[in-house]
Structure 1
Amino acid sequence: MRGEAGLLADLKALGIPFTAYEHDAVFTVAESDAVNAAIPGAHTKNLFLKDNGGAYWLVTVPSVARVDLKALPPAIGSKRLSFGKAEDMARLLGIVPGSVTPLAAINAAPGSITVVIDASLARAAAVGVHPLRNTATFALAGGAILDLLRHWGHGPLIAAIPVQDNL
C-alpha cells in the first residue's frame, strides 16, 4: 500500500496542482456540508460496491446526487450491485469507511476494482476528494483525477450516473 505519501509523491512527479484543506473528521455527506462550504469546487460522495459476479466498483458522484441503485448496473456495465464490506475496502483500497475516495485506487492492484467517475466530475475544474483519510480534502481538476487513475493502471469509467428524482 502506497498510502498518502505515495499519493503526494505522484502528484508532485506528475506536476498535478492541488490545494489541500485540513479539517475535522467527516463520516457522511451531511457532516461534510459545513466543511465543503469553505472549499471551492465540486464535492463528492463515493460508493464502494460489489456486484453479484464478485467484481468491485468504486463510484464517485457529486455529493448532492441520490444515486438510483437499481438503474446503476446497466449504466456502468455491471451486474446487480450491493454495498461492499468494510474488510474488503480495507483489503483492496487500504482505507476505512468515511475515507472513501477515488484516490484510494493508488493502493489497489490494477484490475481489482473498477473506478467510475460521474461525467460531470470528470469535466470539473476543481473536485474535492479525500486524500485517503477523512480529515482532509484535496481539490484538484477532474481530469487530474483521471490522469492519476490511469497512472496507477486503472482505466477509469466515465459515466452519466443515474440519479433518483428529488421528491
Structure 2
Amino acid sequence: MKGPSIVENRRLLGLLETALMREARLWKAPVFKSECVQSGDVSSCQHQEMIVWLGDVNRRLHFCPETLALGVCILNRMLTTVKAQPKYLKCIAFTSLVLGAKINEEDEVKGSVSDLVAESGCSFSTAEIVRMERIILDKLHWDLYTSTPVDFIHIVRSFTFFWS
C-alpha cells in the first residue's frame, strides 16, 4: 500500500494548521461552579450530565461521532458566551446537537426537528427548539463550525510518517 504523497502530506498539514488556528481563535474554556448543588448557575456536574445525556441521544438518533463532538463544542461555546440557567441547559444541549446534525448529517439521516424531538424522547416542543436555534445562532454569530477533537484525530490519522 502506497502512503500519501508529499503534496497530500502538505495539504493535511495545512488542514491541521487551519484547524489549530481556528480553535485558538474560537475556543474558550467554559467556567462552571465546582460544586454540584442547585443554584442559578450551571455546575460542572450538570455540564457533565448533559454531555453523557447528549451521547445517549446521539446514539438513539444514529448520528455519527462527529455530530456529537460538534454538538458538544457548540454547547460549550454557547455556555462561554451566555450565563445559562440550569433549567434551560437540556434545551441548549439538545439544540446544539440538532445544529451539529444539520451540519454533519445527511438529510435522510437527520429528519425534521419535530421527528428528532419525538425520537429523542425530549419534552421540548418544536417551537422551543427552533427558538433556541435562533438564540444560539445569534450568540455565536452564525459561525457554528469549530474544530473538534474528532477532526484532529482524522487529520493526524491521515498523516503517514516515514521512518528511516
More strand by share: 1
Q: Based on CA coordinates, which of the two structures has the bigger radius of gyration?
A: 2
TM-score surpassing 0.5? no
Which TM bucket (shorter chain)? under 0.3
Q: Give the TM-score of the pair, scaled to structure 2.
A: 0.26
Q: Give the TM-score of the pair, scaled to structure 1.
A: 0.26
